[in-house]
Amino acid sequence: MRGGDPRRLEILKRAISMDWEMVGYAAAALTMFGFLPQLAKMMRTRSVDDVSLLMMVQMGIGVALWLAYGLHLNNSPLIVANVVSLSILALGIGVYFRYTTRRYFK
């Protein structure tokens, strides 16, 4: 845009710039509810045969560390997203043990 109007250039930059806050909210929503389909399937089928306890524990530790980081930064979106994620994972681990122990104690 040689010799073009600087205002037009600024408008163009704004039009193609990404709203990073919206990207953050989308990432938080996908992360928060990413384990819900697995949890729903575990509860619907009452089976945890294809679920890795190690994966859930590892993910839970990672989410807990992200929560600690969010608390350190006092970043509310980070805190909320990780509290929800950790709660869903805790439910998943509870369901895992509920249906695993049924298999062994029938």
Q: Per CATH, which fold does 6-104 belong to?
A: Monooxygenase (1.20.1280)
pLDDT tens column, 20-71: 778 888 888 998 999 999 999 999 999 998 899 999 999 999 999 999 999 9
At residue 102, the pLDDT reads: 62
pTM of the predicted model as reported, rounded to 2 decimal places: 0.74
| Spans of all domains in the chain | 6-104
- Scanning the chain, the segments in alpha helix (DSSP H) are 6-16, 20-32, 36-45, 53-73, 76-104
Token output for 104: 């062994």
Rounded distance between C-alpha atoms, residue 100 and residue 81, angstroms: 28
